[in-house]
Amino acid sequence: MKKRTLITENNVIFAEINLEVMFGDSELNNNYIRVNGMLMDLSEPRVMGVLNITPDSFYDGCRSMGIESIVRRADMIFSEGADMIDLGAYSSRPGANDVSEEEEIARLRSALEVLKNKYPSAVFSIDTFRSKVAEICVKEYGASIINDISGGEMDSHMFETVAELQVPYILTHIQGTPQSMQKAPKYDNLRREVLLFFSEKVKQLRDLKVNDIILDPGFGFGKSLEHNYQMMAHLDDFEIFNLPLLVGVSRKSMIYKLLDTDPKGSLNGTTVLNTVSLLKGANIIRVHDVREAVEAVRIVNELRKNN
């Protein structure tokens, strides 16, 4: 079996990754994913705008419960230049209350019926860890991408469902659940454990013939402040997988706790970390503030042209 060894700065071997896992049967590299029957070019980074259909998301600037507010938020996201919308009906903030599957489906149905009618060709990602929710949103409403914060850990049928649906799948690293993940996150070796998690999960997905996989390191999902910045500092570790990389740090506690502020006061910190992420290879940034993210992408693209 062909393997590649990743070595730390101190010349200590801490992870061996199966090279066959990286590429599977796909002829595409990390510059492309198949979306709505077409190829989406990720050679220049894309911006994903957040639209939460929840009453308790950690940042109230993106909560939209009524139909009118949902449409207004979608209009703003697209008018400011986002390439796609990530639609979530289950708050994944630390300690969030559980939401029943029925309620999650009902919230998404009401939003998708309106949004797909107004934006029939738009790319909508569904932020869910439940396979039934994913299936309904793709089959009945033509959702384009499944964004699973649990990496398949919270629904044993998710990987098989995504394989059947043949839509891009965002594979997120998490330790615990939204209810428990930030109580006492602990790792013996953060980088090694996250890399091995992805190696194993990508292998499972490849075996099921899922080709369009996007990695999300899971900032804030079962990680302390120090864990988050360690992972950000070594974001280029994930290049070994040759898969698209999504980064979602928008207004998270890794920013406002460090800067002694709150989510509302975290826009500047968010833009800084988004820019760092782009420079370190992020293909998609998931954000609440689209205009600022689009500007960061434009600036980084211009820097690369002149490098």
Judge whether 28 and 42 are in contact, CB under 8 Å: no
**Cβ neighbours around 96 below 10 Å, total:** 16
- The CATH number of residue 117's host domain is 3.20.20.20
Residue of 191, 192, 251, 286 marked catalytic:
286
pLDDT of residue 59: 42
Alpha-helical (H) ranges within the chain are 19-23, 67-79, 101-118, 131-141, 158-165, 190-207, 225-233, 253-256, 267-279, 290-305
pLDDT of residue 185: 83
Known catalytic residue at 252: yes
Q: Residue 63: inside a domain, yes or no?
A: yes
Q: How far is CA 69 from the centre of its chain?
A: 24
Q: Residue 67: inside a domain, yes or no?
A: yes
Q: Residue 4: inside a domain, yes or no?
A: no
Please tell me the number of Cα atoms within 13 Å of 14 on its side-chain side.
Answer: 15
Known catalytic residue at 286: yes
* Cross-sheet strand order for the sheet of 169-172: 213-216, 169-172, 145-148, 124-127, 84-88, 46-52, 284-287, 246-247
User: Residue 142 belongs to what domain range?
Assistant: 45-302
Cα distance between residue 169 and residue 145, in whole Å: 6
DSSP H or E segment with residue 127: strand 124-127
Q: Residue 248: inside a domain, yes or no?
A: yes
Residue 195 vs residues 37, 86, 202: alpha-carbon distances, Å: 30, 25, 10
Q: Residue 77: inside a domain, yes or no?
A: yes
Cα distance between residue 145 and residue 137, in whole Å: 10
Residue of 118, 203, 252, 280 marked catalytic:
252
Give the residue from 106, 139, 145 showing the smallest Cα distance to 122. Answer: 145
Strand partners, 17: 4
Q: Residue 231: inside a domain, yes or no?
A: yes
Cα distance between residue 27 and residue 3, in whole Å: 20
**Cβ neighbours around 188 below 10 Å, total:** 6
The set of residues, in sequence order, having a beta carbon less than 8 Å from that of 119 and lying 6+ positions away, is 74, 78
Q: Residue 27: inside a domain, yes or no?
A: no
Q: Residue 86: inside a domain, yes or no?
A: yes
Sequential pLDDT tens for the chain (307 residues):
455 545 455 545 455 666 555 555 444 567 899 999 999 999 999 999 999 998 755 445 544 568 899 999 999 999 999 999 999 999 877 666 789 999 999 999 999 999 999 999 999 999 999 999 999 999 999 999 999 999 999 999 999 999 999 999 999 999 876 656 567 788 999 999 999 999 999 999 999 999 999 999 999 999 999 999 999 999 999 999 999 999 999 999 999 999 999 999 999 999 999 999 999 999 999 999 999 999 999 999 999 999 8
Judge whether 296 and 284 are in contact, CB under 8 Å: no
Contacts of the segment 202-207: beta carbons below 8 A, 24+ positions apart: 202/21, 202/22, 202/24, 202/171, 202/241, 202/243, 203/18, 203/21, 204/152, 204/159, 205/159, 205/162, 205/163, 205/169, 205/171, 206/21, 206/24, 206/25
| Phi, psi angle pair for 266, to nearest 5° | -110, 15
Please state the domain count of the chain.
1
Cα distance between residue 49 and residue 201, in whole Å: 26
- Kindly state the tokens that stand for 25: 């049967």
Cα distance between residue 108 and residue 143, in whole Å: 11
Q: How far is CA 153 from the centre of its chain?
A: 15
pLDDT of residue 307: 82
